[in-house]
Amino acid sequence: MIDKTVAAISTPPGEGGIAVIRISGPEAIVIADKSFRSYSGKFLSEIKGYSALYGEVVSENSVIDDAVATVFRAPKSFTGENTVEFSVHGGRLVAKNVLRAVIKNGACPADRGEFTKRAFLNGKIDLTKAESIINIINAKNEIALRISQAAKNGRISKEIDSLIEKLLELSASFSVYADYPDDEIENLNPENFHSSLDEILYKLKNMIDTFDLGKKLCDGIECAIIGKPNVGKSTLMNALSRTERSIVTDIAGTTRDVVDSAVVLGDTTLILSDTAGIHQTDDIVEKAGVDRSFQKLDSAMIVIAVFDASSPLDDDDRIIIDSISDNAIIVLNKSDLGLKADISAFKGMTVVNISAKNNQGIDTLSEAILAKIKADRLDSDDAVLINDRQFNCVNRAYESLYEAKTAMENHVTLDAVGICIDDSLKALLELTGRRVTNEVSDEIFSRFCVGK
């Protein structure tokens, strides 16, 4: 039971149409009544949940601002507690003064994420839904938003809860076995046991497999633009990001290091890196830049390898061709100047002709990048893991269960198998928050902002 009533400004700082001050806890309506005078003369304590009064927020009889006060009654509120929200004019001062008045009348300042934490503690949401709220707030692109909304609507919880139920049944069978080792227990029949385990392992593995691509699509796909000096890498970077981030000159070797730029492409985000031109050189500084370009070439998920279409390929181009693999898209730039490059060198590769300077072929290149990312491998309405904590829990659950399967196959005692199943169960209970330490939940909610 939470006995403190807390308050915070729930809207972002700065100027805006309205600001919302939220009060939640057992005394929320009483405190709000002390801070508010409705124009109708009614008190907030007299009205039903989901209704509002228009009036003014006051502090020691002086008016702070006009306000609409909305009342939510427990348990039908976001936090599950009595809640009042004052909507006042936007701007830091008004909101601050309202918050001050509410605190003077008995509310305590809310910690980071305290409203969401209370929703969790009052059983309104589980941890996966709480975490999805941070992800919705932080979503940088449409895919991140859709994945987070699916999680908020219970996509991950539903999947995990059904696996928890199955594991609980298995765990119960093992407990019975420990007490009555001579009895025949149906679930412990090796065939049934293996098929139950395989089904759970399969579902856990599917979730694990969503993590890598899911996280990259949400946070940004690393995409390296490489090529020898002067082929138009920086011009292409600017065409793709539509800014002047990279310095475009006709002096070879102008970009001596990596320049990054985040660009929204379709539903996802690209982290574009304009790298130093790859060429054979004895200059130490240039060499360091070239080494970094090769590192980017190796680490990026997508490589855009740029060549000058208007001149024959040379040794530097051939070094690049030998270094790339099937995550690369060949871009033949300067195609406005005609084609002199020997395109047979790019047989079997994805090739796009562009003129970065004239902004031609950029849409085709964008489509080729999206096709290479293969974002459609992932259904954003599915249970997609994009959070490290959740991924680690599912991974732990998978590994423990796999151990249970191996132990069973190797005829290790059933007691030992039971322990592995319980470990797997523990990891899933921690994932949804049904069994979680205060330290873990405190850490999760400390990542929220004040007022959420």
Distance CA 149, CA 390 (A): 16
- Residue, CB closest to ligand GDP: 232
Q: Which of 38, 87, 105, 234 binds ligand GDP (CB under 6 A)?
A: 234
Q: Under the criterion CB under 6 A, does residue 293 sit at the interface with ligand GDP?
A: no
Q: Return the number of the residue (155 or 233) whose C-beta is nearest ligand GDP.
A: 233
CB atoms within 10 A of CB 54: 12
Residue 5 makes CB contacts below 8 A (sequence gap 6+) with 23, 24, 25, 26, 27, 28, 31, 106, 107, 108
Can you read off the two tokens belonging to residue 356? 């970065």
Q: Under the criterion CB under 6 A, does residue 195 sit at the interface with ligand GDP?
A: no
Can you read off the two tokens belonging to residue 83? 């809640």
Q: Return the number of the residue (97 or 254) whose C-beta is nearest ligand GDP.
A: 254
Q: Return the number of the residue (70 or 246) whose C-beta is nearest ligand GDP.
A: 246
Distance CA 415, CA 425 (A): 15
Candidates 74-82, 86-94, 167-175, 249-257; binding stretch for ligand GDP (CB under 6 A): 249-257
Distance CA 421, CA 418 (A): 5
Candidates 230-238, 342-350, 389-397, 418-426; binding stretch for ligand GDP (CB under 6 A): 230-238
Orientation of helix 388-409 relative to helix 127-138, angle to 10°: 140
Q: Are 290 and 281 in contact (CB under 8 A)?
A: yes
Q: Compute the least distance from the CB of residue 243 to ligand GDP, in Å.
A: 14
Candidates 228-236, 291-299, 371-379, 440-448; binding stretch for ligand GDP (CB under 6 A): 228-236
Q: Compute the least distance from the CB of residue 440 to ligand GDP, in Å.
A: 47
- Closest by CA to 401, choosing from 386, 422, 387, is 422
Q: Under the criterion CB under 6 A, does residue 231 sit at the interface with ligand GDP?
A: yes
Q: Return the number of the residue (235 or 268) whose C-beta is nearest ligand GDP.
A: 235
Peptide bond into 75 cis (omega under 30): yes
Q: Return the number of the residue (333 or 400) whose C-beta is nearest ligand GDP.
A: 333
Q: Compute the least distance from the CB of residue 285 to ligand GDP, in Å.
A: 16
Distance CA 108, CA 396 (A): 39
Q: Return the number of the residue (255 or 424) whose C-beta is nearest ligand GDP.
A: 255
Q: Return the number of the residue (356 or 369) whose C-beta is nearest ligand GDP.
A: 356
Q: Return the number of the residue (305 or 384) whose C-beta is nearest ligand GDP.
A: 305
Q: Which of 105, 141, 230, 380 binds ligand GDP (CB under 6 A)?
A: 230
CA dihedral 163, 167, 169, 174 (to 10 degrees): 170
CB atoms within 10 A of CB 439: 8
Q: Return the number of the residue (232 or 451) whose C-beta is nearest ligand GDP.
A: 232
Please report, as residue ranges, which positions from 26 to 55 form the binding site for ligand GDP (by CB under 6 A): none
Q: Compute the least distance from the CB of residue 272 to ligand GDP, in Å.
A: 12
Distance CA 294, CA 287 (A): 11
Candidates 146-154, 185-193, 199-207, 250-258; binding stretch for ligand GDP (CB under 6 A): 250-258
Q: Compute the least distance from the CB of residue 327 to ligand GDP, in Å.
A: 20
Q: Return the number of the residue (201 or 320) whose C-beta is nearest ligand GDP.
A: 320
Q: Which of 80, 227, 433, 451 binds ligand GDP (CB under 6 A)?
A: 227
Please report, as residue ranges, which positions from 332 to 361 form the binding site for ligand GDP (by CB under 6 A): 333-334, 336-337, 355-357
> What is the 3 state secondary structure string of 142-202?
HHHHHHHHHHHCCHHHHHHHHHHHHHHHHHHHHHHHHHCCCCCCHHHCHHHHHHHHHHHHH
Distance CA 216, CA 225 (A): 18
**Region class of 232: left (phi > 0), else alpha (psi between -120 and 50), else beta:** left
- Closest by CA to 122, choosing from 71, 73, 75, is 75
Binding mask of the shown chain, residues 77 to 116, with x at each position contacting ligand GDP by CB under 6 A: ----------------------------------------
Please report, as residue ranges, which positions from 273 to 292 form the binding site for ligand GDP (by CB under 6 A): 277
Q: Return the number of the residue (243 or 446) whose C-beta is nearest ligand GDP.
A: 243
Chain residues in the site for ligand GDP (CB under 6 A): 227, 229-235, 248-250, 254-255, 277, 333-334, 336-337, 355-357
